Amino acid sequence: MKLNLQLGILALLGVTIALPAKSSSASASASSSSLLPQPKPTSPGCGNHLAKGHSPGDSYRANLITDDGRNRSYLIHLPSNYTTERPAPLVIAFHGRGKDPEYMEKLSQFSNEEFNPDAIAVYPQAIIDDYWHVSSGPNDISFTIQLISHLEKTYCIDGTRIYASGKSNGGGFTNDLACDPIASTRIAAFAPVSGGYYQNLTSEEDSCDPSTVEIQCNPGRSKVPILEFHGTADTTIPYAGGARHGKCLPMVSHALRQWADRDGLGTSNKTEELWGGNVQKYEFGSGEDLGMITHYRIDGWKHVWPSKDGNYDSSKKTYFDAAPIIMKFFKRWSL
Ligand SMILES: *[C@@H]1O[C@H](CO)[C@@H](O)[C@H](O)[C@H]1NC(C)=O
Ligand SMILES: *[C@@H]1O[C@H](CO)[C@@H](O)[C@H](O)[C@H]1NC(C)=O
Ligand SMILES: *[C@@H]1O[C@H](CO)[C@@H](O)[C@H](O)[C@H]1NC(C)=O
Ligand SMILES: *[C@H]1O[C@@H](CO)[C@H](O)[C@@H](O)[C@@H]1NC(C)=O
C-alpha cells in the first residue's frame, strides 16, 4: 500500500516509472500495474467521431508521440461495420524484421473481412532496422502499452478483447508481450507465427541447448492463451532451435511445453493429425482450458505465414490460412 502510494505520487509528479525488469518480483509488477488502466469492455473513445476523411472499412496511417518523445507510426484498418457506439475487438499485428505495416496487412489478412469481420486491425511500424526492440534501443513493449491506451482513447474498443499476433521477429516480440508483467494484463491472447524466441545465454562460455533452455517469462496473470504456428523446414528460425545472433533459440515444441506448464496445463497434449498427417495440431489443457496453448507444426513448411493461396512471403501454398484460425482462437478469450 505504502509503495503504491509512493508510486502514485511519483506518477502525479510526472515521473516516469520504469517498467519492471523481466526478473522483477511479482509484488513489484503488481504495484506498477495497479497504476495502469484496468481492461474494460468499453473505452473512452466510444462516441468519438472518426477523424476527417476516414470512414469504416478504410486502412490509413496514423501517428503517436510516445513518452520518450518518439514519433511512432501505425497502420489502422476499421471494420466496414465499425460504429462509434459498439466497442470493437482489436488485433495488433507486428511485422517481421525489415518489413512494414502495409506488408504485414497483406501477409496476415487481418484486414480481410472474410477472415476478420469485426475487429479493428492495427499494424505498428518498428523503428531502427525495422526491428522490434525489447532490451536495447526503443522500448517497444512500453510503446505497445501506450499505443493500446492511445487507441482506446481514439476509437471505440472493447479493452477486454485486445489481441496480438506477429511474424518472425514480430512473433518473438508477440511472445515478449505475453511474458511481460504489464502487457500480458492488457492483451487477452497471443498468436505468434514462425517466431524467434531468443534467450540470453547465462555466460559467454555457455552453450545453447535448445531442448532445455529456460525461457525468461514473467506474465502478470496465471493463464495466458498462446497459439503458435511453425514449419519444420524453417531455416531462419529453425524448429529445432539452436544458437543464433549470440543467443539461444529454444526448440519450438519445448517453448510451447513451457507455456503449458506455466499456465498450469501440464506438459502433455492432445495431438491431432491434420491434412493427411502433414500438420500436427497440439492442444494443451483439458475441459474449458483445452487448447489454451495450441501449436500447429507444419511438415516441410518454411519461414512463411501459412496461406492456402500463397502470399508475399512465398508463392508456396499450404493446407490452411492462419488468419481465420487465429481469429477463432482469439474469440475464445477475453480478460
Ligand atoms: C509525426 O510524423 C508524421 C509523418 O510520419 C507527421 O505527419 C506528423 O506531423 C509528426 N508529428 C509530430 C508531432 O511531429
Ligand atoms: C539479455 O541480454 C541483454 C544484453 O545483451 C540485456 O540487455 C537483457 O536485459 C538480457 N535479458 C534478460 C531477460 O536477462
Ligand atoms: C504432444 O504429444 C506427442 C505425443 O506424446 C509428442 O510427440 C509431441 O512432441 C507433443 N507436442 C508438443 C508440442 O509437446
Ligand atoms: C459486424 O458486426 C459484428 C458484431 O455484430 C458481427 O459479428 C460481424 O459479422 C459484422 N461484420 C460484417 C461484415 O457483417
What is the Å distance from ligand 2's center to 182 Cα?
Answer: 18
Q: Measured between alpha carbons, how far is 126 from 124 in angstroms, rounded to an integer?
A: 7
Reduce the DSSP state of residue 302 to 3 states and report it: coil
HEC profile for 148-201?
HHHHHHHCCEEEEEEEEEEECHHHHHHHHHHHCCCHHHCCCEEEEECCCCCECC
Per-residue pLDDT for 205 more than 90?
Answer: no
Domain of 197, in residue numbers: 41-332
Task: Output the CA angle 106-108-114, nearest 5 degrees.
Answer: 85
Q: Which helix (H) or strand (E) holds 76?
A: strand 71-77
Per-residue pLDDT for 29 more than 70?
Answer: no
> Model confidence over 209-265: pLDDT tens digits?
999 999 999 999 999 999 999 999 999 999 999 999 989 999 999 999 999 999 999
Look up residue 50 and give its three cell numbers.
472518426
Strand 269-274 vs strand 226-231: parallel, antiparallel, or unpaired? unpaired
Look up residue 58 and give its three cell numbers.
478504410
Q: How confident is the model at residue 204 (pLDDT cuts 50, 70, 90)?
A: low
Residue 61 domain flag: yes
Q: How confident is the model at residue 202 (pLDDT cuts 50, 70, 90)?
A: confident
> Model confidence over 78-135: pLDDT tens digits?
999 999 999 999 999 999 999 999 999 999 999 999 999 999 999 999 999 999 999 8
Residue 221 domain flag: yes
Q: How confident is the model at residue 4 (pLDDT cuts 50, 70, 90)?
A: very low
Give the residue, 3 or 40, on which the prediction is more confident: 40
Q: How confident is the model at residue 15 (pLDDT cuts 50, 70, 90)?
A: very low
Q: Measured between alpha carbons, how far is 40 from 205 in angstroms, rounded to an integer?
A: 47
Residue 111's CB: how many other CB atoms inside 10 A? 25
> Model confidence over 271-329: pLDDT tens digits?
999 999 999 999 999 999 999 999 999 999 999 999 999 888 888 899 999 999 999 99
Instruction: Give the per-residue pLDDT at 9.
Output: 40
Residue 225 domain flag: yes
131-142 mean pLDDT? 92
Per-residue pLDDT for 335 more than 60?
Answer: yes
Which of 81, 113, 115, 331, when mutated, tests ligand 4's pocket best, judged by the most ligand atoms within 8 Å of its CB?
A: 81
Instruction: Give 211-223 as a DSSP string.
Output: TTPPPP---SSS-
Q: How many domains are contained in the chain?
A: 1
What is the Å distance from ligand 2's center to 220 Cα?
Answer: 20
Ligand nearest to the Cα of 70, by number: 1
Residue 69 domain flag: yes
Instruction: Give the per-residue pLDDT at 312.
Output: 83
Beta strands in the chain (DSSP E): 59-65, 71-77, 88-94, 120-124, 157-167, 189-193, 226-231, 242-244, 247-249, 269-274, 279-284, 293-298
Let me know: does 290 contact 329? Beta carbons within 8 Å.
no
CATH number reported for the structural domain that contains residue 324 in this entry: 3.40.50.1820
What is the Å distance from ligand 4's center to 279 Cα?
Answer: 31
Q: Measured between alpha carbons, how far is 236 from 199 in angstroms, rounded to an integer?
A: 16
Residue 5 domain flag: no
Per-residue pLDDT for 3 more than 80?
Answer: no
Ligand 1 atom closest to Cα of 61? 5
Residue 135 domain flag: yes
Q: In sequence order, which residues have a C-beta less than 8 Å from that of residue 309 and are 6 or more positions away? A: 317, 321
Residue 18 Cβ contacting ligand 1 at under 6 Å: no
Residue 295 domain flag: yes
Residue 56 domain flag: yes
Instruction: Give the per-residue pLDDT at 16.
Output: 42
Look up residue 91 and give its three cell numbers.
488485433
> CA torsion 93→99→105→110, rounded to 10°?
-30
